[in-house]
Amino acid sequence: MNVNPPIVGAIELGGTKVLAAIGTGPGDGILARERFATGDDPARTLGAVIEWLRAQASRTGRMQAIGIASFGPLDLDPASPTHGFITTTPKHGWARTDVLAPFRRAFPALPIALDTDVNGAAIGEGRWGAAQGLDDFVYVTVGTGIGGGAIVRGKPVHGLVHPEMGHIPMPRAEGDAFPGACRIHGRCWEGLCAGPAIAARAGCPAEELDADDPAWDAVTASMGHALATITLMLSPRRIIIGGSVRKAGRLGEDRFFERCRVSLERSLAGYVYSPVLSGDGLRSFVVPPRLGDDAGVCGAMAMALASAG
């Protein structure tokens, strides 16, 4: 349609790595990309990202906005004195870091959008991926940690801070005595289903588990409880599960999703009626991301495109 789509910068700021890209959209729309270690020195890391982005902007000659999808918790309240800060993260060196100001200083003429990594991924999946055409859906990542971004009427939920779905209290799955691995909450969702929790439970990383290891039963049962909680709290039209755990090693992604859907249906027990909440309907309700591991950086790109107007 548009022969000159806007070119934007995109940064996915993760706990382990930072992905930066410049382009117009996913796939071939990514004109250049770079990867940085997050490290424990924010000034140095953000400085390197900005330097790379500045070189790309000057190379392409027309970077029009920047999107930053960051790990958190983040202060997203424009009225707050610490707007744009990562607040209470246990990530070494990054608590109380202003992640917005360095980009504002480096690119004073450009609109810069900041949101959580999972809100970014949700926005990207809504624009180009598994939630196209939907105004109400949730993107969750289940990996080193667990987080979720909720889109309500086309926009991410912020409210007081932003959702932190990974830390919801959870029921004990039947027969499960695992005490949980969250340093703060023990048996919250992240403490039961994130990668490190699975490793702590099983004694080896998730990707090395046998397909019939009972750990998968406990994990997918707990996933069902969490998906039911999301369904009952937010009434989304779809839930996208991204992150590394969904690949589920020898169990495989298809079986992991199938088991999560069965657990969700069991947990809801027919209380909320919708064709997508039972049987085969669930295959369109609980789905993997379509942008795969690029959901975050593409989301940052979608955020930038939205702010470029």
Counting contacts by CB under 8 A, is residue 165 touching a copy of itself?
A: yes
Nearer to a copy of itself, 191 or 249 (CB): 191
Counting contacts by CB under 8 A, is residue 177 touching a copy of itself?
A: no
**Options 36-44, 195-203, 251-259, 264-272: segment touching a copy of itself (CB under 8 A):** 264-272
Sites for a copy of itself among residues 85-124 (CB under 8 A): 87-88
Nearer to a copy of itself, 265 or 294 (CB): 265
Among candidate residues 109, 119, 34, the one with its CA nearest the CA of residue 64? 109
Sites for a copy of itself among residues 179-198 (CB under 8 A): 184-185, 187
Residue 159 · residue 144 · CB < 8 Å: no
Counting contacts by CB under 8 A, is residue 217 touching a copy of itself?
A: no
**Options 26-34, 38-46, 102-110, 156-164: segment touching a copy of itself (CB under 8 A):** 156-164
Structure tokens at 273: 């009626």
Closest distance of CB 105 from a copy of itself, Å: 25
Of the candidate residues 228, 241, 301, 302, the single one contacting a copy of itself (CB under 8 A): 228
Cis bond upstream, residue 163 (ω within 30) = no
Counting contacts by CB under 8 A, is residue 132 touching a copy of itself?
A: no
Structure tokens at 186: 């023990």
Closest distance of CB 298 from a copy of itself, Å: 24
Counting contacts by CB under 8 A, is residue 168 touching a copy of itself?
A: yes
Counting contacts by CB under 8 A, is residue 169 touching a copy of itself?
A: yes
Counting contacts by CB under 8 A, is residue 78 touching a copy of itself?
A: no
**Options 28-36, 54-62, 203-211, 265-273: segment touching a copy of itself (CB under 8 A):** 265-273
Nearer to a copy of itself, 150 or 304 (CB): 150
Of the candidate residues 81, 175, 203, 270, the single one contacting a copy of itself (CB under 8 A): 270
Sites for a copy of itself among residues 5-64 (CB under 8 A): none
Query: What does the binding site for a copy of itself look like in residue numbers (CB under 8 A)?
Result: 73, 87-88, 136, 148, 150, 152-153, 155, 157-165, 167-172, 184-185, 187, 225, 228-237, 267-274, 276-277
